Amino acid sequence: MHPEFQNIGPNSAKSVKGFTVTWRPAGGVDYSDEHGTIRVDSELLVKPSRILLYPRSSGLKTLTDDQADEIIADIIRGLEYMGHQVEKW
């Protein structure tokens, strides 16, 4: 079994499923696919170090709940592949 992701740059991983997850340390995670890019709000927490995702971000409001849930799940897998611990709020 080959891995789903590969690193394509600093804080960026591409999935074999056709999307890219890019974490912005200053805040936000970009989810990019053939339809464009969606920004999901996030922040870096410490002690222990982890990324907090906000599933109610404005970038997800135009999507159905199922679509938003799928994107959040994809983002979490991508961030975990990059070695980050992730929480949703």
Between CA 62 and CA 17 the distance in angstroms is 22
For the record, the structure tokens of 31 come out as 């989810």
Question: Pairing relation of β-strands 36-40 and 29-33?
Answer: antiparallel
pLDDT for 55 equals 92
For the record, the structure tokens of 22 come out as 């890019």
- Alpha helices, H only, the chain: 65-81
pLDDT for 2 equals 63
CA pseudo-torsion sign 70, 16, 52, 56: negative
Q: Are the beta carbons of 41 and 23 closer than 8 angstroms? A: no
Note the pLDDT tens digit of each residue in 33-76.
999 999 999 999 988 899 999 999 999 999 999 999 999 999 99
